[in-house]
C-alpha cells in the first residue's frame, strides 16, 4: 500500500452498513420538487377501485390510498413530478394527466 493510499484510508470515514428490505423511497423535506411539473394527475374517484396500484408504482412514494374516504387517492403535490406512471399503471384508467400550466 502506498503512502497516498494510507492517507486516503486514514481520512476517509468508514461507511455505515444498513440492512434494507425491499425498495426504499425518500421524500426530502427541504426540496419542493413538484414546482417544476407540467402535467398533474387528476383522479376520477367514482371510477377508482382502491386497488393501490398507483401507490405501489409511484417512484416518489407520494400516493396514499385511504379506503375509508370518498376521495381515497391522496397525492402529495409538493413532491409529485408529473411523470404519469400512476396514470399508466392504473388498471381502470381513473387517473388522467392534465396540463397544470397554461
Cell of 1: 500500500
Q: Is the pTM of this model over 0.75?
A: no
pLDDT tens sequence across 27-52 = 555 467 777 889 999 999 999 999 99
Looking at domain 43-102, its CATH architecture is: 2-Layer Sandwich (3.30)
pLDDT-derived band at 12 (thresholds 50, 70, 90) equals confident
> Which burial class, exposed, middle or buried, applies to 61 when counting CB atoms under 10 A from its CB (0-12, 13-18, 19+)?
middle
Amino acid at each position: 500500500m502506498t503512502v497516498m493510499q494510507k492517507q486516503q484510508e486514514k481520512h476517509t470515514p468508514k461507511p455505515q452498513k444498513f440492512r434494507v428490505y425491499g425498495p426504499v423511497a425518500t421524500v426530502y423535506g427541504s426540496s419542493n420538487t413538484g414546482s417544476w411539473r407540467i402535467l398533474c394527475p387528476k383522479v376520477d374517484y367514482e371510477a377508482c377501485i382502491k386497488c393501490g396500484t398507483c401507490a405501489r408504482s409511484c417512484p416518489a412514494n407520494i400516493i396514499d390510498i385511504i379506503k375509508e374516504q370518498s376521495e381515497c387517492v391522496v397525492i402529495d403535490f409538493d413532491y409529485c413530478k408529473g411523470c404519469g406512471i400512476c396514470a399508466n399503471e392504473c388498471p381502470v384508467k381513473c387517473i388522467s394527466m392534465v396540463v397544470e400550466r397554461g
